[in-house]
Structure 1
Amino acid sequence: MTTPEAEVAQRPKPWYESFFGPDYLKQYAHTTTLQEVEGVAKILHLRPGSRVLDLACGAGRHSIELAKRGLEVVGYDLSEPLLKAARAAARKASARVTFVHGDMRDLPYHGEFDAVVNLFTSFGYFEDPKDDRTVLARVARALKARGKFLMERFNRESLATSLPSQSWQVRDDRSVILYEDTFDILRGRYETRQIVIDREGTREHRASVRAYTFPELKELFEEAGLFVHRVLGGLDLAAYTARSRRIVLYAVKGLEPEGIRTVW
């Protein structure tokens, strides 16, 4: 007879606890970071010295560029390997960023930030949607009154019609990464399977992200007291349509809009 503790230990760990490691760092060149941060800056329109929380900051590429613009930035992430890379990158760039390790469901902040950003599809990881509600409640709590929240992620309307897909990437070090992307219509989730082949052998990584529609996200935001003022088709400030590959939601804590704009 197994004990409850043993049963818990035998359960597979959530994908997001291991997915964001050394192999993840190799996958993305992120050549558009400067343009993305330019879009963030235009949307948020923050004064120098404003406090910004980069929620799920990863390797810190956005945190660092925001800090270079005179903002006081805190980067928050669950992945220790990515945070290690972020701290090294910040030192190299002479950028002052505070990087914090933690689970986004446990954000400890209360009314401290002028803005929170959540970029590159870093929401919807959890199996239970209640956890997503918890995250948004913590975001709202972390913001000052009339604080701003910016989320950028894949657009479900476009994603659902473009999958399944298969592709591969050959890197300079001769490693190969195979991608198999699918959309689970019954669970409403984007699923990816990635196989890395290099001199060290073959490794497989999987990820699963809940694919919310805009109306679903808007409702979740409002439950947390975050009201969407603008929805765009990317950080390039393109208009939002069903064909947009990305979706950007700009919300304000405690301030309802007269209407939601879909163009810049």
Structure 2
Amino acid sequence: MTHEILGDFKAYSLAGTDQEVRFITSVLNLKSGESILDLYCGYGRHAIELAKQGFAVTGLDATQDFLDIAAQKAQKAMVNITFQQQDMRELNYNQQFEAVINMFAAFGYFTDDENANIIKLISTALKPRGLFLIDLLNRDWMVRNNLNRYWRHPSGEYVLSYKVQLENGIATMKRQLINQVTGTKIQYDFVLRAYSLPEMANIFSNSGLSIIETYGGFDGRPYSAETPRMIILAKKDT
């Protein structure tokens, strides 16, 4: 397979992960030992690096295959992370975390009502004045750009690819995980609701969350219609 980077999205690399984790820790500004829920953690690249920095990390994902990979990577990195398989629509935490992160367009896979309720469940999971950091694709940018993406794990063992088509605010995404060693391929097809910033602000407001800042990338650039990402930092009101 050809290593391809389209648009402004970076291939998965150690350097990319380092930048993303630096950004996450900078904007959250938490103390070592405080608790973070990595909601839909995938195969744990953020969760593992955050755990290395001394945070108490819980990684949750609906896909057991990803969690199995994450657990193996965490063991190799010698960090202790609680991994849990669960649909985000069934979150049942109550004021347990200082922060919740939701990275790499892992939100919007359900109906509008279900998506809005997920934000309410996240708010419930946060401690008073807790922080929520969500990384979304920028719908305005998506309209004008190609979103196909391809990531190779630094070890070369795994490849993760996305193919995306956008129409009327609905993105159809095909995600494929390939084990380069065994040749095993796992494909998941998703329909993703791409929200605008005003829509997200309304959902947050109805869930007791207030937007603090909005970024256009992990380099901290300001959000605009020209940035590929819409990264929102919000705080629980009480």
TM-score, normalised to structure 2's length?
Answer: 0.84
Residues 225 and 202 of structure 1: CA distance in aligned 2, closer, same or farther (over 3 Å): closer
Provide the secondary structure at the position in 1 that maps to 2:26. Answer: helix
Q: Any unmatched runs of 5+ in structure 2?
A: 1-10
Offset at residue 123 of structure 1 (A)? 0.2
Alignment of 1:14-93 (within 5 A): 29-31=12-14, 32-93=16-77
* Residue 189 (structure 1) aligns with: 170
Offset at residue 207 of structure 1 (A)? 2.4
Letter aligned with residue 52 of structure 1:
I
Letter aligned with residue 58 of structure 1:
G
Give, in whole Å, the separation in 2 of the partners of 1:235 and 1:170. Answer: 19
Letter aligned with residue 214 of structure 1:
L
Greater mean alpha carbon deviation, residues 28-37 or residues 212-221: 28-37
Alignment of 1:98-247 (within 5 A): 98-126=82-110, 128-163=111-146, 180-185=163-168, 188-193=169-174, 205-247=188-230
Offset at residue 201 of structure 1 (A)? 9.7
TM-score, normalised to structure 1's length?
Answer: 0.76
Provide the secondary structure at the position in 1 that maps to 2:203. Answer: helix
Give, in whole Å, the separation in 2 of the partners of 1:103 and 1:178. Answer: 22
1:119-160: CA deviation from partner (whole Å, max 9, x where unpaired): 01100011x111101110110000000000000121111011
Offset at residue 29 of structure 1 (A)? 3.4
Matched-pair identity in %: 33
Instruction: Give 1 or 2 for the bigger CA radius of gyration.
Output: 1
Offset at residue 169 of structure 1 (A)? 8.9
Structure with the larger RCO, 1 or 2 (CA within 8 Å, 6+ apart): 2
Residues 145 and 166 of structure 1: CA distance in aligned 2, closer, same or farther (over 3 Å): closer
Provide the secondary structure at the position in 2 that maps to 1:33. Answer: helix
Give, in whole Å, the separation in 2 of the partners of 1:86 and 1:120. Answer: 16
Residues 201 and 139 of structure 1: CA distance in aligned 2, closer, same or farther (over 3 Å): closer
Give, in whole Å, the separation in 1 of the partners of 2:123 and 2:159. Answer: 41
Give, in whole Å, the separation in 1 of the partners of 2:72 and 2:211. Answer: 35
Residues 43 and 208 of structure 1: CA distance in aligned 2, closer, same or farther (over 3 Å): same
User: Which stretches of structure 1, 4 residues or longer, exceed 2 Å deviation after superposition?
Assistant: 28-31, 165-173, 175-181, 192-207
Letter aligned with residue 68 of structure 1:
K
Give, in whole Å, the separation in 2 of the partners of 1:183 and 1:135. Answer: 23
Residues 242 and 202 of structure 1: CA distance in aligned 2, closer, same or farther (over 3 Å): same
Offset at residue 200 of structure 1 (A)? 6.5
Instruction: Tell whether the 8 Å contact from 2:12 to 2:151 is kept in structure 1 after alignment.
Output: no
Offset at residue 202 of structure 1 (A)? 8.8
Residues 214 and 106 of structure 1: CA distance in aligned 2, closer, same or farther (over 3 Å): same
Give, in whole Å, the separation in 2 of the partners of 1:134 and 1:75. Answer: 20
How many positions carry a matched residue from both structures? 223
Letter aligned with residue 37 of structure 2:
L
Q: Any unmatched runs of 5+ in structure 1?
A: 1-27, 256-264
Letter aligned with residue 208 of structure 2:
G
Offset at residue 234 of structure 1 (A)? 1.3
Alignment partner for residue 236 of structure 2, among 244, 249, 253?
Answer: 253
Root-mean-square deviation over aligned CA pairs = 2.9
